[in-house]
Amino acid sequence: MWNDTDTPLAYFISFRSYATWLHGDKRGSIDRFHNRYLSPYIQPNEKWLHYNEQRLKAKPLLLKARHRKSIEAAIRETCNIRNWLLQAINVRTNHIHTVVSANRKASLVLNAFKANATRQLRQDGLWPYSFSPWADKGSKRRLWNERSVAKAIDYVLNGQGDDLPDFDD
């Protein structure tokens, strides 16, 4: 019988940069009331989107090459210091995907990634604000067998499209 003390082989952890997918967006969204497995997204709503855009503290954070390098370095350093096995990472223009084996709960791994990436972005002069450069929460999927770990690694490395060019250097 499974219980919450069992440790998966790895986690597939993803998180988005600030304000890059707001409620009301044409892609649909999920909120705390519509967050069940396989439940449909909330339908697009222009008024809700406009309301959310007006409440932003800064422009959406689109990750340029220097942001992506900074974030990847921070996540790699976090894994090295904590002896976690980073099996795959892909930092895109508005989100980060990782596959990591860690002896901690997924929420602690996600929080460590976000905190250290924030610290690194600030240290590199890429995030001047006092608030977080990340959307709230993130995805924390548990991978229980070798097949699911391999599929997640393949998705992170090969399922995100072409490598992003370094246009801003």
Lowest mean pLDDT, pick from 19-23, 75-79, 109-113, 136-140: 19-23
Categorize the per-residue pLDDT at 51 as very low, low, confident or very high, splitting at 50, 70 and 90. Answer: confident
Q: What is the mean pLDDT of the chain?
A: 89
Tens digits of residue pLDDT in 82-112? 999 999 999 999 999 999 999 999 999 999 9
Say what the pLDDT of residue 123 is: 98
Residues 120, 110: Cα–Cα separation, whole Å: 15
Write down the CATH superfamily of domain 10-21+60-158. Answer: Transposase IS200-like (3.30.70.1290)
Tens digits of residue pLDDT in 63-87? 999 999 999 999 999 999 999 999 9
Say what the pLDDT of residue 162 is: 81
CA atoms within 13 A on the CB side of 92: 17
Mean pLDDT in residue range 11-28 = 86
Cα dihedral sign, 99-104-106-110: negative
Q: Which residues have CB under 8 Å from 79's CB, separation 6+?
A: 85, 86, 100, 102
